[in-house]
């Protein structure tokens, strides 16, 4: 390798490179010294004086308005004052009503919305108000109970009130159909009509009619005047039946309308299973002696009830078909004088009068009852509920209280006894009586 040569001349500088990224700002310097105040400017032109403050004033337009039902009404309330007042509309009950910029609009008006409406303006100096009147016109409408109204013949009756609404106030009148109102017996006070004293020919329909210049309408109600019903069929006053029989008692009546027929007992229990009423007829099956008593048929219409009665006696045939033993010489206290015999005594018998009321149930002495062998009941008397029973009769003689015997039938008929005798075992035997 050869020796290094001398350095050549410096060339022209190259192009500038791109600017580098800006460094962060340096710290804020200290505030400078405040400068000297400049001269005062020229004054502006004087403004207009402000509006003086004032309390509210209220004006409504229109002051009064008449509108037909279902239409709309518009009122404008103008309020002035400083500061600017607030505006409020009040309804009939002083309740606030929604409005806009003092404008009140009521749509689909009804009669209930007629009345006074008040506009109130308020600011810090006080309040003011003005009231307008709204009239709503409507044709008549009627509310009337259809009835019927029930009245007692001879008394005054007031029909249901005919409630009428509408404006102008409708004229209310009444008429009757069929026929006409009896002028001397009717009194009208608006929607009330009184008829009296009521008669049968007052029965019918009564029409309430209402009219004003917008229209008219009618409604009806009915009146029934009641008089006492009358029996068409009456049961017998008295009737006799035997135990186990069936009883039918017919009862019917007529009136303004068919009366309600019912039956009841004056005393004693009503047994639904055996005692039935169908269309006024009382049917009692399987009669018992306890069924005896008064049965009452009632026919009812409003204000009136009429009655008819039947006295029922339920007794065995023997309690109503018997012969009486009345001779005083049959009593146990009678000492025998002329001997008598009951061998021919056959059938049902009852002790009455001087003979006493029943057979003795203890042994009487012999030679009493005007016979030798005195008959007495051994075993006691039955109750009503026992019905017909068999009892032994003993004949007392020298050999003892039951020297001879025979069987008889006995029934308790409530207040007395009856005995079925079939002669005696021999003469001289007799059935004795006692009290």
Over residues 171-217, the pLDDT tens digits come to 999 999 988 998 899 999 989 999 989 999 999 999 999 999 999 99
Instruction: Please give the torsion angle defined by the CA atoms of residues 371, 376, 382 and 388, in that order, rounded to the nearest 10 degrees.
Output: -50
Q: What is the pLDDT of residue 93?
A: 79
Same domain, 325 and 426: yes
Q: Which of residues 107, 138, 169 is at a domain's end? A: 138
Of the CA atoms within 13 Å of residue 347, those in its CB half-sphere come to: 12
Residue 1 has pLDDT above 60, yes or no: no
Q: What is the pLDDT of residue 315?
A: 85
Residue 161, burial from CB neighbour count under 10 angstroms (0-12, 13-18, 19+):
middle
Q: Which of residues 80, 103, 138 is at a domain's end? A: 138
Mean pLDDT across the stretch 381-392?
Answer: 91
Same domain, 81 and 131: yes
Residue 238 belongs to what domain range? 230-314
Q: Which of 337, 240, 218 has its CA nearest to residue 293? A: 240
Task: Look up residue 306 and give its two tokens.
Answer: 């009429």
Asked if residue 426 belongs to a domain, the reply is yes
Same domain, 264 and 345: no
Mean model confidence pLDDT for the chain? 90
Q: Which of residues 226, 250, 280 is at a domain's end? A: 226
Same domain, 332 and 282: no
Note if the bond before 197 is cis, omega within 30 degrees.
yes
Mean pLDDT across the stretch 307-332?
Answer: 93
Same domain, 343 and 419: yes
Tell me the CA distances in angstroms from 23 to 19, 20, 26, 296, 330, one per residue in order: 12, 9, 9, 130, 166
The helix or strand, by DSSP H or E, that contains position 72, with its residue range, turns out to be none
Percent residues over pLDDT 70 in the chain = 91
Q: Which of 435, 432, 420, 346 has its CA nearest to residue 394? A: 432
Same domain, 248 and 181: no
Q: What is the pLDDT of residue 229?
A: 94
Q: What is the 3-state secondary structure (H, E, C) of 159-209?
A: CCCCEEEEECCCEEEEEEECCCCCHHHEEEECCEEEECCCCHHHCEEEEEE
Give how many domains the chain has, as a whole number: 4
Asked if residue 25 belongs to a domain, the reply is no
Between 205 and 5, name the one with better pLDDT. 205
Per-residue pLDDT band at 320 (split at 50, 70, 90): confident
Q: What is the CATH number of the domain that holds 102?
A: 2.60.40.10
For residue 328, the SS3 value is helix
| pLDDT tens, residue by residue, 423-432 | 999 889 999 9
Per-residue pLDDT band at 14 (split at 50, 70, 90): low
Asked if residue 34 belongs to a domain, the reply is no
| pLDDT tens, residue by residue, 37-62 | 767 767 656 657 667 899 999 999 99
Of the CA atoms within 13 Å of residue 241, those in its CB half-sphere come to: 24
Asked if residue 9 belongs to a domain, the reply is no
Asked if residue 23 belongs to a domain, the reply is no
Rounded distance between C-alpha atoms, residue 430 and residue 331, angstroms? 10
Task: Look up residue 375 and give its two tokens.
Answer: 């008959």
Q: What is the pLDDT of residue 11?
A: 61
Asked if residue 29 belongs to a domain, the reply is no
């Amino acid at each position: 390798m050869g020796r290094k040569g001398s350095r050549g001349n410096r060339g022209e500088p190259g192009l500038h490179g791109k600017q580098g990224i800006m460094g962060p700002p340096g710290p804020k310097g200290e505030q400078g010294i405040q400068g000297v105040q400049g001269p005062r400017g020229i004054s502006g032109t004087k403004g207009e004086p402000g509006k003086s403050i004032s309390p509210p004033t209220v004006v409504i337009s229109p002051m009064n308005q008449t509108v037909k039902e279902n239409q709309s009404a518009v009122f404008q309330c103008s309020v002035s004052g400083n500061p600017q007042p607030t505006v409020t509309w009040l309804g009939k009950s002083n309740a606030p009503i929604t409005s806009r910029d003092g404008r009140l609009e009521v749509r689909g008006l009804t009669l209930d919305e007629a009345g006074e409406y008040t506009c109130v303006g308020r600011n810090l100096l006080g309040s003011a108000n003005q009231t307008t009147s709204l009239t709503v016109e409507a044709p008549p409408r009627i509310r009337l109970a259809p009835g019927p109204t029930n009245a007692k013949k001879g008394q005054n009756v007031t029909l249901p009130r005919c409630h009428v609404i509408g404006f102008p106030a409708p004229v209310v009148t009444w008429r009757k159909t069929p026929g006409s109102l009896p002028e001397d017996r009717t009194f009208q006070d608006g929607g009330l009509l009184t008829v009296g004293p009521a008669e049968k020919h007052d029965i019918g329909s009564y029409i309430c009619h209402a009219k004003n210049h917008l229209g008219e309408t009618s409604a009806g109600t009915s009146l029934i005047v009641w008089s006492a019903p009358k029996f068409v069929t009456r049961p017998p006053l008295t009737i006799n039946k035997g135990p186990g029989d069936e009883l039918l008692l017919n009862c019917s009546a007529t009136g303004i309308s068919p009366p309600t027929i019912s039956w009841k007992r004056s005393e004693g229990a009503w047994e639904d299973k055996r005692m039935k009423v169908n269309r006024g007829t009382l049917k009692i099956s399987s009669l018992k002696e306890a069924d005896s008593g008064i049965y009452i048929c009632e026919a009812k219409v409003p204000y009136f009830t009429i009655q008819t009665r039947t006295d029922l006696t339920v007794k065995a045939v023997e309690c109503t078909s018997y012969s009486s033993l009345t001779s005083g010489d049959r009593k146990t206290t009678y000492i025998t004088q002329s001997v008598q015999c009951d061998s021919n005594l056959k059938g049902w018998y009852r002790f009455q009068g001087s003979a006493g009321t029943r057979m003795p149930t203890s042994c009487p002495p012999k030679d009493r009852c005007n016979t030798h062998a005195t008959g007495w009941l051994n075993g006691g008397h039955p109750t009503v509920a026992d019905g017909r029973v068999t009892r032994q009769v003993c004949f007392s003689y020298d050999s003892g209280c039951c020297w001879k015997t025979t069987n008889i039938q006995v029934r308790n008929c409530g207040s007395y006894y009856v005995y079925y005798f079939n002669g005696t075992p021999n003469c001289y035997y007799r059935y004795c009586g006692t009290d």
